[in-house]
Amino acid sequence: MTAVATRADAGALRSTISRIVCDARDLLDDEHIVGLDGLWDLVTATIQHAVVGGVSPERMAALLGLLGRIREAETARTQIQLAEKSATLARVRSALAEISPATSVDGLLSIAPSIACGLGFDRVLVSTVDTNWQLHTMCVVRDPRWAEEIVAVGREEPLVLDRSLIENDTVVGVQATLVDEVQENPRVNRALAEITRSSSYGIAPLLVDGEVVGLLHADCYFQDRLFTVEDQALLSTFAAGLSQNLARVTVLDGMAALRSHFDGVARWQAPARGATVSVAASRDDDSVLTRREAQIMRLMADGDSNAKIARRLVISEGTVKTHVTRILRKLDVGNRAEAVAVWLRAESG
């Protein structure tokens, strides 16, 4: 079913449902009926009461006929919803195909907003998170300069991720968030609310190894409408695919960084025949630090305790301890001090 056919069918179904509602109001003498939901149960209950209390054959035929029309409309609605979901997935797959050539985190985050706008959003913002919420790149379909101004405002002061910001709900809960009444919402950053003039928007988390490392914001500003549950589902689907690509390029970035940090260390010396270490090897626990482990190693080198690292990365202290244990094993050292020494020697060349 094509998108045009789906829209045509949806329009025809709306007309059909409208007629069913009007007929149901007349037949049941109930002006409070407004839609298809719950109507089957209401008509069924009416038929059951009519059987007990007695009813004319004409009225029973009308009730049964209405019941059949309701079921047909419900079936048509389900089919259209399935077709719309299929079309949405096809659009997301096409959008993600445009992202797949990216080979670095920065490159991926730089192109993601414009590609997401191609899905029908008017403005899309991608950002990274640790203890702070850091704006990276934004696309405004009709006004690129406005996008730059919004990002600049968001970067003026550190946006600390705590309970005062609605974005914290997405990070802590690892789930999408739909934000309404933006201008009145006390948990929306005031400076960003003022410059964006947004009324509602959606947020979807970007995940790597199960942890939220970024956020995707979107709205429908130029369409002059609220961000809907359907919009949020589309944004979340795109964010899930983007997360997979983000994990891929994070590995590539991690390999490049570690090659630089450990230049001269035996494990990074090129094989005699000029072969290169594969992406798959970067996931091998035997030698290579993951992106998160490298991040924790840098904080350890700065003298941060496990508790401080946990606060900065918004993870549990137990998770930090697990990472530290893995780091010590990979670097073949017995304690944090030795690990830091190896790290610093590698950085200094």
For every residue of 218-243, DSSP letters joined together read EE-TTTT-PPPHHHHHHHHHHHHHHH
Q: In whole angstroms, give the CA distance from residue 263 to residue 348.
A: 9
Question: Residue written as tokens 């309701």?
Answer: 70
pLDDT in tens, 138-180: 999 989 999 999 999 999 988 988 899 999 999 999 999 999 9
Residue 283 has pLDDT above 80, yes or no: no
Question: Residue written as tokens 């940090």?
Answer: 261
- What pLDDT band is residue 2 in, cutting at 50, 70 and 90? low
If residue 63 lies in a helix (H) or strand (E), which one and from where to where? helix 57-99
Highest mean pLDDT out of 82-86, 105-109, 195-199, 211-215: 195-199
Amino acid symbol at 8:
A
pLDDT in tens, 37-73: 889 999 999 899 888 877 788 999 999 999 999 999 9
Residue 223 has pLDDT above 90, yes or no: yes
- What pLDDT band is residue 259 in, cutting at 50, 70 and 90? low
DSSP 162-192: STTSTHHHHHHHTS-EEE-SGGG-TTS-HHH
Amino acid symbol at 67:
L
Determine the 3-state secondary structure of 103 from DSSP.
Answer: coil
pTM value?
0.61
Per-residue confidence (pLDDT) for residue 287, from 0 to 100: 59
pLDDT in tens, 197-215: 999 999 999 998 888 999 9
pLDDT averaged over every residue in the chain: 84
Per-residue confidence (pLDDT) for residue 284, from 0 to 100: 40
Mean pLDDT value across residues 184-206: 96
Per-residue confidence (pLDDT) for residue 269, from 0 to 100: 39
Residue 263 has pLDDT above 60, yes or no: no
Task: Please say whether the beta carbons of 98 and 115 come within 8 A.
Answer: yes
Of 325 and 8, which is predicted with more confidence? 325
* Other beta carbons within 10 Å of 281: 13
- What pLDDT band is residue 278 in, cutting at 50, 70 and 90? very low
Mean pLDDT value across residues 6-12: 75
Phi, psi of 304 (to 5 degrees): -75, 140
Residue 265 has pLDDT above 50, yes or no: no
